[in-house]
Structure 1
Amino acid sequence: MPTGVALRDVRKQLFDAADRILLRDGPSGLTSRSVTTEAGVAKGILHRHFADFDAFLADFVMDRVDRMDTQAAQLREEAGKGDVVDNLADALTALFGSVAVAIVALVTFRDGLRARLRESWPAGVPVLTEAAIMIGQYLTYERAHGRIADDAPIDALAPTLIGAGHLLFADRGTPPDAEAVRTMVTTVLGGYLSHA
């Protein structure tokens, strides 16, 4: 592997390689060697930029959490438009159709990663916690638009939608169809959907 090749953004290159490996091979396939091989860089590059592999993985997870800000902003923009169930089903499908499900498995799989994440993220799995915040904000906006009941327990509904969504998407060869996701959202929201 040539070492004199300039890398434009080594972090992005390594993180994108980690995405591909996680989606293809799962957490057990994610090693420092597999990441550098997939990224097409010299083996020592990863350790020149990160203290160790768990530091790399912690930065990778937090980078993927930061990327959710765009999705959260897009979902908030949908408040008051379209159908609430469709908006949530689309958001959950985009979330869990990404590397998010694999990241949950990765965090569960690696004790060192969990310990490293606890230094900056004190509770929960970062991707799922951030997703629950995103869904909670959207439900709050919809409540302000009168499309979710005033007495809706948003602090309970948001994590329930995330948990049920995760169960629908986790460990499946093929993702659930759109109707299955819609049915789950409708069931969770139950009588809290306003039909005015």
Structure 2
Amino acid sequence: MSPRGVAMPEVRERLFAAAERVLAREGPGALTSRAITGEAGCAKGVLHAHFAGLDEFVADLVLDRFAHTAREAEALRGRAGEDTVAGNLTQVALALLDSSSPTVAGLALTRPAASLRVREALEAGAPGFSAVQDSIARYLEAEQRLGRLAAGADTAAVALAVVGTAHHLLMTGWPGAPDPREQMRRLITLLTGAARRAAPDNASPRE
């Protein structure tokens, strides 16, 4: 068994997935160490054997999901020229929304110790919204070079709009709220349409 605070990868993911199911089914009030281990089919002490407590567990869950999305975004540049710009952006944006459901993100905010741990990790360089934003901007610049976006398009602003909107939707979502995925799709359609028309010398982008 690994030392406390260093969970084995398979145990870590098993507990994270179980916590997400508990939150989706019963809400934040039901999230306890016992509920998580019970959902995961583990012994009751497993969570505390690998994490210092529930706050550390929640923070690590959020950071893990952000890191996964950052890796997807980093691979985005390799898809320049493939599919459509809107389709590629939408794939990453929806992954960002799925990386930490509104319930999980909201839970971290209501637990000061978990929120502090997330903030400190991001400030120390852990991949999060900023890393995703940078990757999206680099991808859009690659599409510009291929002529699929206008030369005058503000790629940094488009990346900020996508990531900023995802952050807003994550922080303000609640059960019964409008589907954030549909809102994100509409935004990306609007942004990519504007980016294709941004300059007269690129009126017929190859998308």
TM bin, normalised by shorter chain, reads: 0.7 to 0.9
How far off is 1:18 after superposition? Answer: 1.7
How far off is 1:17 after superposition? Answer: 0.9
What do residues 150-184 of structure 1 show as CA deviations (whole Å, max 9, x unaligned)?
33333322121123345567336473675x54431
Whether the 8 Å CA contact 1:32–1:46 is kept in 2: the answer is yes
What do residues 127-172 of structure 1 show as CA deviations (whole Å, max 9, x unaligned)?
5444333422322222232222333333322121123345567336
Unaligned runs of 5+ in 2: 1-7, 197-201
Whether the 8 Å CA contact 1:132–1:158 is kept in 2: the answer is yes
Secondary structure of 1:119's partner? helix
Whether the 8 Å CA contact 1:89–1:182 is kept in 2: the answer is yes
Question: CA 1:103–1:132 in 2, change beyond 3 Å: closer, same or farther?
Answer: farther
Does residue 171 (structure 1) correspond to residue 171 (structure 2)? The answer is no
Give the Cα separation in 1 of the matches to 2:106 and 2:30: 12
Query: In structure 1, what is the equivalent of residue 190 of structure 2?
Result: 187
Give the Cα separation in 2 of the matches to 1:27 and 1:42: 21
Give the Cα separation in 2 of the matches to 1:165 and 1:41: 33
Please list, as runs of the form range in 1=range in 2, the aligned pairs for 1:1-196 lying within 5 A after superposition.
Answer: 9-97=10-98, 99-122=100-123, 127-165=128-166, 170-171=173-174, 173=176, 175=179, 181-193=184-196, 195-196=204-205
Query: In structure 2, what is the equivalent of residue 4 of structure 1?
Result: none
Unaligned runs of 5+ in 1: 1-6
Question: CA 1:71–1:22 in 2, change beyond 3 Å: closer, same or farther?
Answer: farther
Whether the 8 Å CA contact 1:61–1:103 is kept in 2: the answer is yes
Give the Cα separation in 2 of the matches to 1:27 and 1:177: 22
Whether the 8 Å CA contact 1:101–1:166 is kept in 2: the answer is no
TM-score (norm 1): 0.76
Give the Cα separation in 2 of the matches to 1:164 and 1:118: 19
How far off is 1:14 after superposition? Answer: 0.9
Q: CA RMSD in A?
A: 3.2
Give the Cα separation in 1 of the matches to 2:106 and 2:187: 22
Question: CA 1:143–1:172 in 2, change beyond 3 Å: closer, same or farther?
Answer: farther
TM-score (norm 2): 0.72
The runs of 4+ residues in structure 1 deviating greater than 4 Å are 165-169
Give the Cα separation in 2 of the matches to 1:154 and 1:26: 38
